[in-house]
Structures are given as structure tokens and as C-alpha cells.
Amino acid sequence: MTFVTPALLAGAALIAVPIVLHLIMRQKPKRLEFPALRFVAQRHETNQRRMRLRHLLLLLLRAGAIALLALALARPTLRWAGAMGSQEAPVAAVLVFDAAPRMQYRAENRTRLEAAAEFGLWLLGQLPANSEIGVLDTRLGPSAFEVDLGSARDRVRRLEAVAHSQPLTVVVEEALRLLAESDLASREVYVFTDLSRATWPDDEAARLRDRLAEVPGAAVYLIDVGVEQPSNYSLGELQLSAQVLSNRGTLAVETSLSRIGGAGEAGERTVELILFDGDGNEQRRSQQTVGLEAGQSERVEFRVGGLEVGTHQGEVRIAGQDALAEDDARYLTVEVQPPWRILVAAPEPADAFALYLTEALAPGVFRKRGQARFECDVTSLDQLPGRPLDDYAAVCLLDPGPLEPATWKRLADFASEGRGVAVFLGRNAAAVDSFNDAQAQAILPGPLLRQARRPDGDVYLAPADYQHPVTAAFRGQADAVPWTAFPVFRYWQLGDLAPGASVVAPFSDGAPALVERPVGDGRAVTLTTPVSDRPHRNPWNLLPVGEAWPFLILTNELAAYLVGSSEEQFNYTAGQTAALRLDPAQRRPRYTLSTPRGLKLPVTPDLDRNVLLVSATDEPGNFRAQAGGREGFDRGFSVNLDPRQTELRRIDEEHLRRLFGAFPFELARRRTELEGKQREARVGRELFTPLLLVLIIVLGAEHLVSNRFYKA
């Protein structure tokens, strides 16, 4: 605490006056004759005690009033760390702008980001001369103080929304780190935020608090440029049934339409699915109208069939306009291929043994209608060595017996070209030596040890988690899958798994059931029990028997995994690096990337890995990479915003307090508010007014008390 006029503190010595008056110069009482003194005498004692107490109170009030007056006239000012006692002393200030897409929310004919920039420019003008100024946004590049005020202004003017925006907590941490570099004593962070819940995540709070504790005396101002009650419709993340599908399949696109704010208004919106044809023209394939109350969310699903082979791009969008356009459209890219051909090799009679698998992958009904995703060719294991494999995307070995090492080698080569091999071990694998030689072990995930017998039927497939693409389809209804209804009586126990091999799903007793291992660019999957046993012939398991829908899904997903359809990704979140696989046969030195804004950028492929990498995925939309003209390479991918980037729900001050913990921060909405708080933090708080207020109260109390006592 400091004083503007400390000399006036001496006035406090005047406290002595009422004390002396009280002790020495007591008021001389008026002498009066009073016959009824007896009534006075009877109460004199108790009354006197009370009076003395009141007099003491009065004395205290008077002395207090004098002391307060002296103190107030001396104009004390409260100071804390960082307060320099002056508005003009240079400060180290970092302006942090939230540049997330939701800052494009338009209100009063300007976006939140524009409002923040305008406020920021004004603030820059207010900062004392020679201040060190940093400007950060949620893109979070390298941070440094600007060279001068002009360049800081430029930074603010050039602010634009960032598709892949970091949480503000992270940027504030960076701002504090930058402040710590400054030698100036007064350090200030100005955070321009719309107070969206997504940008102040709870899980980052502890780190932020730690960082705040390391920079004591830093003043943090949160400037709320948000709209208190936003009103908006938004689309959720797109969920595609598959990113690679056969031209006979159907594409299911699922998303959610949510509404926030605008209670009381009729809420009906039309959601459209648009696909672009080869010339880039829009084709509205489907639309749905959904009515929503404020705060509600509704699922929207589209199904599109009959897509031609090739890359298809499109978008799901809300028709019409609202305050935030960024979340009104989501983009999608899928690739349509001819049905994948799968070669199924089984013991003689091959067709009979392969029936379960081929019917599961390409059911007869679908085959007749031409809707089957896969085309299965069946051959006997004996004929496998002579069979050309080039046309197939995957090979399945059903209950193989000993094979020539050359055949194993051929399969390994086949797989390493980016294709899949599945081995379903069964009773014919009794000659384990053949399976345990080096060539076979290039495909199999580990040496075969022995057959495990579980005649009680208490062992079944028990996927531990549903993270692998093969089991992911079960994720939604993991608890409802009746694995126990399909017991496994016998299976092959494996020795130590080869490096890189991993268990996709174990049996309920913990032994590996479905095991995969990467082979070159492809993959090999082994099931340690067959899927070709007839139920009446002492089968190893009952997986394909009865209401075997889990088997159906499992084999379909397994096949999709084998042919590589679940591996390719064409839909990314902003900020992720997109990767497009190249056909090794038709590699080109340069590709042209068309961005959603219509820019055409040259891209050089990574020829070693046969892939085209695009890291500039900052804008949401559909990207297209092309080379070699009409007949050449033409693939694309889509970039979408993380739905959290457009999340408009706000947090309240209470929530902020929890985030910041004990660290004091100031929340301001208006310039005047900010100015007051700045002055307080820089200069300290002038106590004149509050002291005067207290003085008035004390004087009032004194007046009241003395009036009560000494009424004339």
C-alpha cells in the first residue's frame, strides 16, 4: 500500500482530541434539583455501566472517524505484484485470439473474429509506449514479440479463422511462456474468446494452472466477444458405411442435425446430400426435412446406391443460412470399385467345404441380383499352386493340409503386394512340421503347437475390444452379440507369435483365435479354427451354424479388411495429413491438387512409399488430386472440421473460475470495463472512495449514537 499524500497521515494524531476530551475534559453536568432522586438512585448502578460502554463506543467511533479521514486524505493505493503504480509504464502484453471456425459466428453484421480484431486494435492503441507486444492465435505457430506496434496491428488485421484450432488453454500457456521472456515487470495477457466450452477444456486446466503459477503477477484479461445466446443449426460428424465400396453396394451416410438457441421459433431445416459428377456439377441425391426444438439433436441418414466405379465426392449440407455457416456443410469422399474377387481354396470337394464362407461373402440372392460386394472363386487346395492369383484381391485357405514351401512363398509374395491372405486352420493341419517351416511362417503368425480340445462347449470367440477394423462393426452392439451360442470345441494352439503379429480376437479361455500379421504391404490373417466343418461330422466349432449373423458380419468384415477396403481413408479432419495411395504401375512425378477454394497446387509424391501426402488440410472441403489427364490418376479426399471447432455452447464465469483455480483473472465485455480493470491492475486500487464511504458510515453511526445519548 502506498499513499499519494503521506504527510496527511499525521492528521491521525488528532485522534488524541476525543480521547483527551473523553478522559479529562468531560462535559460538566448541569446541576438540577430533583426530588424524585430515589427512582434514579435505584437504577443508577446498572445504568452507569451501560452508559460507560456506550461512551466507549462513541469514543471509538469518533477516534475512528478522525483516523479514517486522515487515512482517506492521504489517498492510499493498494498495490500487488505487477502493479507499477502508473498507467504509463511500458508493459509486456500478449494478445491471444481465438481463431476457431466458430468465431465466424455472425452477429450485428460482423463475425466474432472481426469483433475481437476491432477490440484488439483499440487495445493496441491503449497500450503504453514502448510496450512489448505479442499477438497469438489458436493456429499456434512460433511465438515471439512483435517488432513494433505497427506489425502487431498488421498481425491483428490479418487474423483469419483456423480450421484446426488449438484450445485456448494451450495458447494461453504459450503466451505465458512468451511473457516470461520479457524483462518488463508488468505482464498482461489479453484473451479474446467467445467463451465456448470446447476451447476451455477441463482436462487442460491443471496444466494451465501450473503455468499460471510460474508467472506470478501476470494479469490475465478474458475479453468476451461471444454472443450470450447463440442461435444456430449444425451438422455433426459424418459417418460413412464404408470409404471404399463395391459398385454393387449401397453407401449409407449418417449425421446429426443439432439446434442451439432460438427457443420459441419454429425450427425446420432441410438437409441435403449432394454428390458431384465427373464435371464437378452438383447433383442432389437425397434430402430430408427435420423439425427441431432448441437444444435438440436428430439423426439424419441417407442411402445412395448405384454408384459408378471411381472416386465420388459430395457434401451434406443444411439448406438456407444461419449465423454460423462453417458447420452447415460436411464433406465426403468415397471410392467405388468393382466387386473384389476372392479365391477360396478348400480340400476336395472344394465347393462343399467352401460353401459357408462363399455364401457368407456373396449370398446367392445377392449374386443373382448382382449386388454382392465380393466375387468368390472356389478351387481345391491341390490346384492352388497352378492357379494364377493376379486377378484376386485376397486368397482364403480353408483347412489347408501341408502345402509346398513354394506355394507358401507365392502366397507371401501375393500378400506383400498389398493384398490379403486368410488361413483357417483345421484338422488337415495335423502335420505341423509343414506349417512350421520358414516359408509357411511368413504367412502364419506363429508355430502350431497342438490341437486344444474343449468338448464341453464352454469356449467361444470373445473379442476383448472392438478397435480392429474386423471387429469394429460390432462396436455399437458389443454386449448384444451372442458369442456364447457359437461354441468352439477344438482349435490350434500357437507358439510365440511372430514379431508384428497381433491377436484381433481371442477365445474366451484367452488363447489366440483370430491373429493378423502384416506381410509387406498386405496382410495375413489366421483363424485357429476352421469355418468349413459340417455340423454332423464332429465339427471343430459351430460358428457358421444356425442364426449365425455374427459369423456373417465377421467374415464380411474380414474379407473387406483382407482386400484393403477398410484401410484406405479418404475423409480427414482439418489438420490431419491426408495420404492417397498411388498405383505403383502408374506413378507420375507430379500431381495437381485442387483445393476447395479452387486453387490448383502441384504436389510431389512420396515415391518410396507409393503415397501422395497432403498436409495442407487447413480448409474444410473436397480436395482432388489429378495427373495424366482424363484417363490418368484421379482421386480425392475430404476434409471436415472437428465438430468441436464449431461447438457454440458457452461456459459461465463459475466454470472459468474452476479452470483458473486460485489465479485471479478479469472478465470484460466492454472497453470501459477493461479500462477500469487495467487501471486497477497497473496502478493499484485507490482506496479513497471506499474509505470515504466507510467514513460516512462511521460519522453517521456517531451521529446516531450521540444523538441517542445527548439529545438536547
Partner 1 sequence: MAAAERYLKPEVVNQIKRLDLRAQFIVRGFLHGLHASPFHGFSVEFSEHRKYTPGDDPKDIDWLVYAKTDKYYVKKFEAETNMTGYLVMDLSRSMGYTYRQELTKFDYAVCLAAALAYLMIHQQDPVGLLTFDRKLRASLAPRSRRSHLGDLLSLLARSKPEGETDIAASLVQVAALLKHASLVMVFSDLLGEPDAVLQSLYRLRHSGHDVIVFHILDEAEVRFPFGGMVELEDPEDHRRLAIDADGFRRDYLAELDAFRDRYRRECAQARIDYVPLDTSVQFDRALMEYLVNRAARG
Q: Which residues bind partner 1 (CB under 8 A)?
A: 26-44, 46-48, 50-51, 54, 708-712
Neighbour-count burial of 707, counting CB atoms closer than 10 A to its CB (0-12 exposed, 13-18 middle, 19+ buried): exposed
Point out which residues pair with 614 in neighbouring strands: 578
Q: 285: closest CA among 265, 270, 305?
A: 305
C-alpha grid cell, residue 287: 434430402
Q: Phi-psi bin for 551: left (phi > 0), alpha (psi -120 to 50), beta?
A: alpha
State the nearest-atom distance from the C-beta of 693 to partner 1, in Å. Answer: 29
* SS3 call for 641: coil
Helices 205-214, 168-181: inter-axial angle, 10-degree rounding: 10
State the nearest-atom distance from the C-beta of 32 to partner 1, in Å. Answer: 5
Measured CA to CA, the distance from residue 288 to residue 302 in angstroms comes to: 9
**Considering beta carbons, is residue 43 or 609 the nearer one to partner 1?**
43
State the nearest-atom distance from the C-beta of 702 to partner 1, in Å. Answer: 15
**Considering beta carbons, is residue 27 or 477 the nearer one to partner 1?**
27
Count of alpha carbons within 13 Å of 14, Cβ hemisphere only? 14
State the nearest-atom distance from the C-beta of 46 to partner 1, in Å. Answer: 8
State the nearest-atom distance from the C-beta of 26 to partner 1, in Å. Answer: 8
State the nearest-atom distance from the C-beta of 706 to partner 1, in Å. Answer: 10
**Considering beta carbons, is residue 35 or 141 the nearer one to partner 1?**
35
In the sheet where 92-97 sits, what is the strand order? 132-137, 92-97, 187-193, 218-224, 665-668
**Considering beta carbons, is residue 20 or 81 the nearer one to partner 1?**
20
Measured CA to CA, the distance from residue 621 to residue 597 in angstroms comes to: 8
**Considering beta carbons, is residue 61 or 70 the nearer one to partner 1?**
61
φ, ψ at 210 (rounded to 5°): -60, -45
State the nearest-atom distance from the C-beta of 708 to partner 1, in Å. Answer: 7
Question: 106 to each of 219, 225, 669, how far by Cα in Å?
Answer: 30, 11, 17
**Considering beta carbons, is residue 35 or 142 the nearer one to partner 1?**
35
Neighbour-count burial of 394, counting CB atoms closer than 10 A to its CB (0-12 exposed, 13-18 middle, 19+ buried): buried
Give me the sign of the Cα torsion angle 582, 585, 590, 593.
negative
**Considering beta carbons, is residue 38 or 368 the nearer one to partner 1?**
38
**Considering beta carbons, is residue 38 or 597 the nearer one to partner 1?**
38
**Considering beta carbons, is residue 29 or 629 the nearer one to partner 1?**
29
State the nearest-atom distance from the C-beta of 87 to partner 1, in Å. Answer: 52
Helix (H) or strand (E) holding 88: none
Q: State in Å, rounded, how far the first CA of the chain is from the last one.
A: 43
State the nearest-atom distance from the C-beta of 39 to partner 1, in Å. Answer: 4
State the nearest-atom distance from the C-beta of 57 to partner 1, in Å. Answer: 12
**Considering beta carbons, is residue 47 or 270 the nearer one to partner 1?**
47
Beta carbons of 194 and 98 less than 8 angstroms apart: yes
Residue given cell 468465431 in the structure block? 103
